[in-house]
Amino acid sequence: MQIKILTVGKIKEAYFRDAVAEYSKRLSRYCKLSIVEVKDEKAPENLSEKECLQIKQAEGEKLLAKIGEDDHVIALAIDGKKYTSEAFSSHMEQVYMKESGTVVFVIGGSLGLSEEVLKRSNEKLSFSDMTFPHQLMRVIFLEQLYRAFRISSGEPYHK
């Protein structure tokens, strides 16, 4: 099974890069994982609503260019569906069984995802009503994906 994590921006902090590398290594037992980063747009402090929209659209175009026609796209968005770890594991089993293409998880930049990316998505996934830095979200997501595979495989994983 192929999973692509499509994300805006690079991870700057070494401790986040180390965590991403560790979970990527662990996930290699369960899937073919790729992480694709697109360049983030410069976002000054005091953005107008119009400038914010323009930045999200520019980043969205870069993201959409990396999504295949047959890909099953899951956008990480605050208004997405929330799951327990067990329910997420079960849901992902269902997605893997019915999808023949790559499953693509999209993590937006600091301003979120464009409407075009959200419209292209087959579903939206939320981890919390809280907002997390997109670099930290990559680590949290990879840990939950690893946990989901462990649960699906009947392997122990701490709760």
- pTM for this model (two decimals): 0.94
Q: Which residue has the higher pLDDT, 100 or 129?
A: 129
**DSSP result, 39-102:** PPPP--SS--HHHHHHHHHHHHHHHHTT--TT-EEEEEEEEEE---HHHHHHHHHHHHHH--S-
* Close Cβ partners of 65 (under 8 Å, ≥ 6 residues apart): none
Q: If we measure between CA atoms, which residue out of 23, 41, 42, 43 comes closest to residue 33?
A: 23
Give the mean model confidence (pLDDT) for residues 76-88: 95
* Close Cβ partners of 25 (under 8 Å, ≥ 6 residues apart): none
Residue 157 has pLDDT above 70, yes or no: yes
pLDDT of residue 20: 97
Residue 73 placed within a domain = yes
| Tokens at 154, concatenated | 């009947």
Residue 32 is inside which H or E element, if any? strand 32-38
Q: State the residue range of the domain holding 8.
A: 2-152
Residue 55 placed within a domain = yes
Number of domains into which the chain is organized: 1
Residue 100 has pLDDT above 80, yes or no: no
Residue 97 placed within a domain = yes
Residue 158 placed within a domain = no
